[in-house]
Amino acid sequence: MDPGSVLLTVVTGAIVAFLYWLYSFAVAPFRVLSRIGVRGPPPIPFYGNQKMVVKEGKLNFFTKMFETYGNVFGYYLGQRVIIVIKDIELIKEVTVKKCNNFSDRPPQPVLLKRGSAPRGLLNAEGAYWKKLRVTLSPSFSASKMKMMAPLIEEHCQTLESILSENADTDKSTDVTLAFGNLSLETIIAAAFGRSIDIQRGESDELLTAAEGIMARVREGAELSLERIITLLSNFPWMASVLRLLASRSKSGAHYQTLARVSLALIRARRQAPDAQQSYKDLLQLMLDATADGKEEHRKLTDEEVMAQCITFIVAGYETTSSLLSFTAYLLAKNPEVQDRLVGEIEAYLTEHPDSTPYEKALGIPYLDMVVQESMRVMPPVSSTNRYCVESTTVGDWKVPAGTVIIIPIWHLHHDPQYWPQPHKFDPDRFTDEEKDKRPALAHMPFGMGPRNCIGMRFALLEAKLALITILCKYKFVPAPETEDPLQLIHGVTSSPKNPLFLRVVSH
């Protein structure tokens, strides 16, 4: 063969290889939705719809897509296939009826060194997740929450004391900061067994690491290394690059600090004499669960307990803080609701002067109605997701393995089909009679099905005890700096964009 023919063959082969590569990465991954019949915006080769989602913001993007395509639409984040479902029956299929097909969360960047630690409940998969869930669920039972209620109330009383310093003055209080400190102090005390007076300004490396992680979560919409990692995670072939970037990110460093400190605390607790009798916190409950040798698969190692401690900070800190901040804001803007709630709290405490913290939290029905309506109007988590482990059908669609299903909690909670005047704050939507009029899945602030939030009881207990402790003496009123409407950030969690200032007054 002459040199010209060889060169032509090589060039032809290179062109064919390039065209195949181009088709494999720029075209083929973006034919999935059209093939299964799910409508959505046209994708851009290589990137999918990522640019549109980032530009619009997830919440606004979802709103426009629902208006255009109805209750089900699909799009692409990089090469990752996303289907968003607002249809109640289809959501029930995903979260309940076919939960085994959708038992996992989408794969996430690894922030701890590979092989250095197991996964927490948020990102554990398959049989390992089931083992964790079965093991940890007793730690969040009603009886265990009853045992922990005095610990939570103690931190709530510290907050009430701090709020009293600005009460009945012309000073405004940043309730986002106040409730954030309460939430973080309580979680660190409960999950790590560490007493840090965060609300009074005390600090240490555990607090610094926890605050650092949540700061990076809040900055998720900004162009940072964490943002780049998140964007690249939508391209499955970038896994090795992601591990390198994650190890160099600030979040990765903070996770390493939390891992090191929490492991030391866990090992010290194991060696403490009479720990089971001396400590009444989540850390001890998890350690007690690992000590049961009757069922071998339920035993957790120190590293597994450590992973759950970190998970509780990531999952519980911002969400509980936002729940309390949003509730205080809604009460300040709706004084008639707040007056009724104050009256209900006073009546209960007068009739039950010796009630325990747990009894107080569960004994005021209108308080629960207020909290539930707050989570409907301003859910701390605007959406949740599931990962399709095996190809299956959902409704009329054949959903391939690897597809991410997003359930848009914010949009469900504001759907006029289930919530007349959806932007109105009306706790009476949660009387027993009203709840019977709509599907249970129309309200799902903690998710639904086997993979719902395991810390739901803990979060509600903390929120209710905080509100009781504050409202038995004070009320929230708008301050000159109070935003109306309140500007929000919708990232991993939903939170106020700016400091949320309110005034605290005696009643």
Sequence length of the chain is 507
Domain boundaries 79-506, corresponding CATH code? 1.10.630.10
What whole-number percentage of the chain has pLDDT above 70?
Answer: 84
Q: Which amino acid is at 354?
A: D
Nearest-angstrom CA–CA distance, 205 and 191: 16
Nearest residue to 486 via CA among 502, 503, 504, 498: 498
Q: Check residues 330 and 17 and name the one with the higher pLDDT.
A: 330
* Whole-structure pTM value: 0.88
Give the pLDDT mean for 333-356.
97
Nearest residue to 76 via CA among 29, 113, 120: 29
Q: What is the pLDDT of residue 250?
A: 63
Interhelix angle for 239-248 vs 250-271, to 10°?
A: 70
Question: Is 388 a known ligand-binding residue?
Answer: no
Q: What is the pLDDT of residue 111?
A: 47
Q: Where are the domains of the chain?
A: 79-506
Place of tokens 């240490």: 204
Nearest-angstrom CA–CA distance, 109 and 386: 16
* Contact residues for 92 (Cβ-Cβ < 8 A; gap 6+): 441
Q: 271 by DSSP, 3-state: which?
A: helix
Which residues are registered as beta bridge partners of 385?
406
211 to each of 39, 50, 193, 245, 368, how far by Cα in Å? 40, 28, 17, 21, 29
Q: Check residues 297 and 87 and name the one with the higher pLDDT.
A: 87
Phi, psi for 278 (deg, rounded to 5): -85, -25
pLDDT in tens, 260-306: 888 888 888 888 777 666 777 888 888 887 544 455 545 788 888 88
pLDDT in tens, 421-449: 999 999 999 999 999 999 999 999 999 98
Nearest residue to 431 via CA among 497, 490, 365, 481: 365
Phi, psi for 105 (deg, rounded to 5): -95, 160
pLDDT greater than 70 at residue 217: no
Residue 381 contacts residue 494 (beta carbons within 8 Å): yes
